[in-house]
Amino acid sequence: MLWGGRFSKNIDDFFLKFSSSIQFDIHLLPYDLKVSRAHSKMLGKCGIISKVESEKILNGLDLVERQYIAGNWNPLSGNYEDIHSAVEDYLYELIGEAASKLHTARSRNDQVATGFRMWIKDSVDALIKLLTDFQITIITLAEDNIETIIPGYTHLQRAQPISLAFHLMAYVEMLERDKKRFQNVYDEADVCPLGSGALAGTTFVTDRSFSAQYLGFTKVSANSLDSVSDRDFVLDYLNACSIGMMHLSRLAEELILWSTVEWDFIQMDDSVTTGSSLMPQKKNPDAAELIRGKFGRVQGNYLSVSSMMKGLPLSYNRDMQEDKEPAFESYKTYSESLKLAALLISSLKINKNRFSAELKGDFMLSTDLADWLVSKNIPFRQAHSIIGKVVAYSIANNKKLNELSIKELKTFSDVFDQSVKDYLDIETALNRKKSFGSPNPLMVSDQIKKWKELLEVD
């Protein structure tokens, strides 16, 4: 134990097991070693310990790492509170008394916070890479479906015609926002708390900027009390994971719907689907369903840490040990879900002509017809009312819009003439879009080109 001097009894075995975090904070071992190297170098540089002692500690830390990698040291086999105490205990075993000087001018509070920030930064880099790869996968599919017409929905009711490419590119935009959120998390985590001590700094003259620079931080924390009690960067990380998983869940839901017999729009590859133990004909979209289902645990991790933090007084409290396992689990779940989603998208088969005939004369062209009336100097609200009556008439007479004669249309407005028929052609509906950001094929193609340049796609 790192703290047993004032106690007359050993810690209860059950309490030690209950309180130990080593089962999950072992993920921080590489970072803990880096933090200790930085601190040892700083102590030697500032003359707080001798350079000989500093070098002995550094060599010992290298040996700890080698022994762990070689499988000669298993910190999980001992009775430790956390990975930090395990390292210090083993370091003492390897190099003796010099190990006892490593903890001068630091606390586990700033030590843990520093290593965790480093882990957050590395995991953010990995997630941004996965998000970019997924964007490229989506863009590849979109580029092949610029002319593939599908219904666009509001309230899960058919609204206006769009293209599959246009629909997919909406997710590229979502993923870019996810990347920006994670970049903000990176910037927030890029502040070094090492040297803050337990909460109030130290009486030694240290060089915190040296430690920060050695560890790759661009900034040093300004308030020691805040340094060890801040977990906003963890909450923002978990929130970014949660929103990212929500986006994947929405995509998964659409893939599930599109793969049904009723939609008959896509086929998922056999490699990412399963069958039924009872019904031989079944092909189930389990991969998409699991992505959709795993959102709950990632969202729960955010709620867990935010609930834990809400009532804590400054500065450090043992409750804050509960911040790491949710972060590790969220990273694992989200990163694996991104990889699986990319596999799903890259292996899809698209029924490109699924809606071509079905949407000819469809009521989804109603807004186009209202716009046509506006071009004939009919106020939009009046045009909206006229087309609404046209739709009601068509439903009552079991007709599509393109099956109505000009004579029938004129009963609703005298301005209808033969030119309105052009607006009832589903094949040209997308080309009529003029506003920036619309599903006009030329605009979608231009957006795909710009994204490919931005993401450096060959």
Active site residues: 155, 276
Which residues are CB-neighbours of 226 under 8 A, at least 6 positions away?
A: 314, 315
Which residues are CB-neighbours of 83 under 8 A, at least 6 positions away?
A: 21, 22, 25, 26, 28, 29, 32, 75
Region label for 398, one of left (φ > 0), alpha (ψ between -120 and 50) or beta (otherwise)? left
Residue 361 three-state SS = coil
What distances in angstroms separate CA 308 from CA 25, 88, 165, 302, 312, one per listed residue? 18, 28, 43, 10, 8
- Residue 114: burial class (beta carbons within 10 Å; 0-12, 13-18, 19+): buried
The answer to whether 237 touches 224, Cβ cutoff 8 Å, is no
Task: Count Cβ neighbours within 10 Å for each residue of 65-93 and write b for 16 or more, e otherwise.
Answer: beebeeeebebeeeebbbbbbbbbbbbee
Residue type, 320: M
Angle of CA points 53, 104, 121, to nearest 5°: 100
- Range list of β-strands (E), 318-429: 349-350
What is the C-alpha separation between 199 and 151, in angstroms, rounded? 59
What is the C-alpha separation between 258 and 159, in angstroms, rounded? 17
Residue type, 143: E
What is the C-alpha separation between 13 and 186, in angstroms, rounded? 39
Q: Give φ, ψ of 230 to 5 degrees.
A: -75, 125
- Of the candidates 328, 318, 324, the one whose C-alpha atom is nearest the C-alpha of residue 305 is 324
